[in-house]
Every structure is written in C-alpha cells, then in structure tokens.
Structure 1
Amino acid sequence: MLRSISVLGILGLGMAIVVIGRGIDLSMVALMAVPTALIMTLADSGFGLWFALILGLLFAVAIGLLNGICVAYAEIPALFVTLAVGLGLAGLGQVGILKSDMVPWPDALDPLLWLGGGDVAGVPSSIIVFAVVVVSAWLFLRHTKLGLFIYTIGDNPYGARTTGMPVRPIMVLQYVLAALIAVLAGLVMASSNSLMDTRIYNLSLIYDVILVVVMGGVGLSGGRGGVMSVVVGTLLVGTIINGMTILNLTLDVQNLFKGVVLLIAIALDSILNPRNEETAQQGDI
C-alpha cells in the first residue's frame, strides 16, 4: 500500500506548500504527466539524459511561473488560474509536444529507473523518495525564512506585506516548487510503471491530492498544517482507497465515496479553521 500511495504523498506535499500559502494548484496532475512525458520523449529521441531532464524541468518551472504570476501579480483567483493552466497544458501535450498519450520509459533514462523501479534493503525506492521529500519539505517549511514567510503570508497576507515581506515573489515560488515536486512524482510513477500515461489528468487524482491535504489537517484558509499533516492524510487516503479496492467497489462508487468524504472534510475544515473578518478579505482560493 505504501508503494502505491508514495506518488500521491509526493503530490500532496507540493499541494500543501501552496495551500499553506493560501492558494491551490489544480494543474499538478497535468504538471506531473506532461513534463515527465516530454523528458521521456526527448530522451528517446536521442537528446541525452541531462538535456532532456533540464529541458523538462525548465518547462515545468515556466508553467509554475505562469501560475504564480497570474495569481500573485494579476490577482486572478488561484482556483481558476490553475484549472485553466492544467487544461491548457493537457491539451498542449495531446496536440503539440507529445507523439502519443502513452509514452514508454526510454533506455536513455535508465539511470533514473531506481526512483520508482528499485529497492534498498527490501524497501521500495518510491517510499524512500517520498521520505526524502518529506524531510526536505519539513526542513524548508520549518527551518528556513522562506518557509516561515509562507506560513505568515497564508495566515495574513496584508500583515505580511506591511512588515516588508516580498509577498508576491514568495507566492510565485510556491507554484514553482509545486511544479518541480509534481515532475519528481511523475518520474517516480513513470519509472515504476515503465511508462507515462498522460491521460491520467482526466482521472480524479487531483481530488485525491486535495483529499490528502484536507484530511491531514492542512487548513484551506492558509497558514496551518505541515508536512506531518500530509503524511497522515496520505496514510488515511491510502487506507480508504486500499479498502475500497479490496471490497471490489466500482470506480464510480469509489469516486462517490471520496467525494462525500472530501465534502465532509472541507466542511470540518471551515469549522475548525474559520477565517476571521480581516483575513477573509484577501486571498480566497
């Protein structure tokens, strides 16, 4: 079960960074699929490992910058920006930069195969990668100024701006970090399955990611929660998905159940983490 939910947990960590800063990123699944497939396509076309990897990461950074600039500087609600960018990125992958919906793992990327296709002392490497991302995100959020700034901005953007914090650049940084984490999750998934099915953005995975964040206790109002919240949420959602699979429930029934759970979790979050009159005036997702 841990191996199957490691990708979900990695995506949840990227989403948590954005949500703590009072945002949301609905483009994360497309960011996981398309840049990863682009890296695999370039490597298979003879461009080499490092060129393909750097170009794919730069492409993801560009998408993250687009999200962040639209949210931070154009002040468009993050919900609509990331939804539109995710749909556009998915369409670009289908009609532009990718040859097919299913991209096989190329031999040129075999040095990265250990990300999801290996193990260390019997422990699947995908779990180890998840653990490394957990520690890195914890160190970033709790032991760096930028991480603490994200909490402050999520709690009160106006107050953070008044104290002289670079609020808009930090908001952009959140989306760039989420994009890079999404690509890492994509590489883990692709190396584990030996292919990347870009049609994954048509599934309900993005709602599973949000469910991980909300069930773990990361407040949608911003400024609350942390890395351990995501770990707990990942284990809870993984247990739910595993249980429904064992019960042989159909996909429609599973989606219905997860939707109800997500609705209840959001309602509880609004009760446990209410926005006061001051903070409710700025930064709604």
Structure 2
Amino acid sequence: MALVVIGRGIDLSLVATMAISVAWTLALAGSGMPMGQAIACGLLFAIGVGLVNGVLIAYADIPALFSTLAMGTFIYGLGRLKLIPSDVVPAPEDVLWFTRIGQGEMLGIPMPVWLFLAVALAGHVFLRHTRAGRFVYALGDNHLAARITGIPVRPMVVLQYGVASLIGCIGGLVTAASVSGMNTRIVNSTLIYDVILVVVLGGIGLSGGKGGVRNVIIGTLLIGVLLNGMTIMNVQYTVQNVVKSSILLAALIFDSLLNPRDEQTAQQGDI
C-alpha cells in the first residue's frame, strides 16, 4: 500500500487479492498440485489483478479509489464462485517447509519477522536505488511534470500496482502458513483500513511523492503496540474499531494540514 500511496494512488483491492490468491493456492495444493507450482499460480494471479488495476487507472483513466474498490469486489466474487470451495481453505499438513514459513524460527526470531525484513529491504532498494523507484516518487510528486520530463507515466502506474499485489500475496502466504489456512471472510473485515492506517500513521502523505519503507516499519510498530495493548486490556472488538477509525481520521486530518491540497501546492515538483 505504501508503494501505491507514494505514487499518489490507493489500492482498496489488496486484501481481496491477497485472500483469494492465497486461498486458491491452498485449494490447488489440496487438490494434488505440488506446493511450489500452486504458489507460482497464486503469485501470477495476484500480479495479474494488480496489472489490471494499473491498466484501468492508467489507460482507462478510472479513479484509483473506484477501480480498485470494484476490482476487490469482483475478485472476491469470482474467487468464491469459481476458484475456492469454501470460505476457509486449510493449508496442506504434509508440506512442512510451507508451515515453517509461518511457524518456524531462525536464530530465535520467528520466520515471519525475517520475511518481513527481507521484503522491507527489497522495497527499500527498489524505491531508493532503482530508476523505477525514483520514477514512482516523481509520479507522486507531480504527475504532469513527470510526463513532461519523459517518464513513462502509464507503464509506471501499471508496474506499481502489480508490485503492490505481489507483495500483498506474499503477506497472505505468510499469514496462511502461520494459521494453517486462509479465511476469505477477512475481505469483509476492517483489515484494509488497518493497512491504510499503518501507512498514514507511519508518515506517508496521501499527497504522494514522500515517505518510504522506514515509515511502514514505524507505522507497523505503532499499530502493533496499540492492538496488543487493547487486547491485553480486554477492549471489545467494536471499541477497538472505534479507536482505530478515530486514529485514522485524526491522521488524515493531520496529513491534510501538513500537505494542503490546493492549486498552488499541486504544483510541487514542477521544473
């Protein structure tokens, strides 16, 4: 989500893409397909959804908010209708290396933490040390200026949504390995708003063009501490949602004050 927001976009289909692609992966593995091939199919499915999102936004000029919202609903419906047999798809019990991804340890540290750090490092390298990453910042800073300077704006939009869906699928695989299955009902939960909350609270402005992986890590730690604290205090789930939504609203207001969106500030980054 941070990658998309830095490019001045948003992806409300991420949770649906994650849930359905991983659930389909587990369903394929349960039907006898080797786990490696099933994971490859799931990753390709997620990337395909991201690329379609990017094409709709970049070439059909559909606002990201509406196109990704519609795509998330479509993917969830398609998955439940054609791809997966039930809401909850269990992970194969005989594939020990897959279970180790979510439940194993290395040097006393859980494997999901190592995988998170690996993806975070890859994301940092992509954003800060590659030409495509610099193009993403240029898109978020000023879309028109990026086009004038010769940046392939539309292909870059497609690329960033494809990469975002790939990362989402990887996160879903770790989740499925941790709890030995995937519950597709999380599509109808508040998880997508938790993701946006992590991004915004970490300091990545919705106006685009600023922030990085460090902000994601900070936001993750803050929200993790908040959720663990409320759980320890036996705060009701509905009350937790009220608290999280209030924090998200406050963060959005604060972001709009720091990065006002008017005609003058919209010209940031002009050459």
Q: Distance in 2 between matches of 1:58 and 1:134?
A: 21
Unaligned runs of 5+ in 1: 1-14
Aligned residue for 2:172? 186
Give the 3-state SS of the residue equivalent to 2:89 in structure 1. Answer: strand
Distance 1:279 1:90, change over 3 A: farther
Q: Distance in 1 between matches of 2:14 and 2:86?
A: 20
Question: What's the counterpart of residue 167 of structure 1?
Answer: 153
Aligned CA distance change for structure 1 residues 22 and 279 (closer, same or farther; 3 Å)? farther
Q: Any idea what the Cα deviations from partners look like across 1:133-177, whole Å, max 9, x if unmatched?
A: 111111100000000000011000100000000000000011101
Choose the corresponding residue for 1:247, options 220, 228, 233: 233
What residue number does 1:113 align with? 99
User: Does residue 131 in structure 1 map to residue 133 in structure 2?
Assistant: no
**Conserved? CA contact 2:142–2:266, under 8 Å:** no
Separation in structure 1 between the aligned mates of residue 101 and residue 264 of structure 2, nearest angstrom: 45
Matched, 1:96 2:82: yes
Tell me the secondary structure at the aligned position of residue 159 of structure 1: helix
Cα distance, 1:278 vs structure 2: 5.5
State how 1:5-20 maps to structure 2 within 5 Å.
15-20=1-6
1:23 pairs, out of 1, 4, 9, with 9
> Would the aligned equivalents of 1:150 and 1:170 in 2 still touch at CA under 8 Å?
yes
Match of 1:7 in 2: none
**1:118 CA displacement:** 0.5
- Note the C-alpha offset of 1:111: 2.7
In the superposition, the TM-score normalised over structure 1's length comes to 0.91
Q: Deviations over 1:178-206 (max 9, x none)?
A: 11001100110000001111111111010
Q: Distance in 2 between matches of 1:278 and 1:67?
A: 30
Residues 50-91 of structure 1 show CA distances to partners (whole Å, capped at 9, x for unaligned) of 321222111111111111001111111101111111111111
Which letter does structure 2 place at the counterpart of 1:271? L
CA offset at residue 276 of structure 1?
A: 4.4
Identity within the alignment, %: 54
Deviations 1:207-249 (A, max 9, x none): 0000000000001000011110010001111111111111111
Give the CA RMSD over aligned residues: 1.3
Q: Does 1:52 align with 2:38?
A: yes
The alignment of Structure 1 onto Structure 2 pairs a total of residues equal to 267
State the alpha-carbon separation in 2 of the partners of residues 111 and 64 from structure 1.
Answer: 28
Deviation at 1:254, TM superposition (A): 0.7
Amino acid at match of 2:123: A
Q: Aligned to 1:153, what secondary structure does the other structure show? A: helix
1:69 is the counterpart of 2:55: yes
Quote the Cα distance in structure 2 between the aligned partners of 1:206 and 1:72.
22
Structure 1 segments (4+ residues) deviating >6 Å: none
Out of 255, 258, 263, the position equivalent to 1:272 is 258
Q: Does 1:259 pair with 2:259?
A: no
- 2:265 and 2:148 map into 1 onto residues whose CA distance is 14
**Structure-2 separation of matches of 1:142 and 1:40:** 34
Change (3 A) 1:279 1:166: farther
8 Å Cα contact 1:43/1:108 also seen in 2: no
Residue 11 of structure 1 aligns with which residue? none
Aligned-pair distance for 1:109?
4.2
- 1:160 and 1:273 map into 2 onto residues whose CA distance is 20
The one-letter code matched in structure 1 to 2:261 is R
Residue 99 of structure 1 deviates from its aligned partner by 0.4
